[in-house]
Homo-oligomer: A and B are copies of this chain.
Amino acid sequence: MADSGGSERKGIDRELRRGSLELIVLQLLAPGEAYGYEIVSKLTAETNGALEVTDGTLYPVLYRLERAALVAVRWETPERGVPRKYYRLTDAGREELIRLTHEWSTFAKAMNKLLRRDREAK
C-alpha cells in the first residue's frame, strides 16, 4: 500500500529463507537438545531478528526433520508447567548438517562472487 501504483516488492527475505530453514534448525540443535518454542526465541535472539520465524513456520520444519530421522524427539512433562517436546540431532542429522552447510557455502560463495563482479564492469 505504501508502494503506490507499483508492484510492491515485499519480502524477498521470505524467499531467501527457503531451503535454509532446515539448515538453521539443525545448526541450532548442534550444541544440544531444545524444544520448539525455545528454538524460535533462540533464533530471533542470536540473529537479532534477521532470521526470525514464527512458531507456525517452525513446527512443520521440525516435523519434516523428525520424519526424515534427522532429529529424535523426547517428551518431557514436568510436575509444573506445560509439556515440552525436546528435539536433538541424530547421527544422520549431524551428517546432514555438514552436508547442508557445504551446500550453503557453495551457494553463498557463488552469489558473492557474482555480486562482486560490478567492480570490473562498472
Whether the pair A118, B7 counts as a contact (CB closer than 8 A) is no
Closest Cβ neighbor of A14 among chain B residues: B19
Measured in the bound complex, the distance between the Cα atoms of B112 and A40 in whole Å is: 18
- A47 interface residue (CB < 8 Å to B): yes
Q: How many copies does the complex hold?
A: 2
List residues of chain B with CB within 8 A of the CB of A7. Answer: 67-70
Contact residue range for chain A? 35 or more
Residues 89-122 of A at the B interface (beta carbon under 8 Å): 96, 100-101, 103-104, 106-115, 117-118, 121-122
List residues of chain B with CB within 8 A of the CB of A82. Answer: none
Q: Which of B18, B20, B122 contacts A111 (CB 8 A)?
A: B20
Whether the pair A50, B122 counts as a contact (CB closer than 8 A) is no
Instruction: Give the B-binding residues of A (Cβ under 8 A).
Output: 6-7, 9, 12-20, 22-24, 27-28, 30-32, 46-48, 50-51, 67-70, 96, 100-101, 103-104, 106-115, 117-118, 121-122
| 22 A-B contact pairs sorted by A residue (CB < 8 Å) | A6-B69, A7-B68, A7-B70, A9-B68, A12-B23, A12-B100, A13-B19, A14-B19, A15-B19, A17-B107, A20-B111, A24-B114, A30-B117, A30-B122, A31-B122, A47-B110, A48-B110, A51-B107, A101-B115, A104-B115, A108-B108, A108-B111
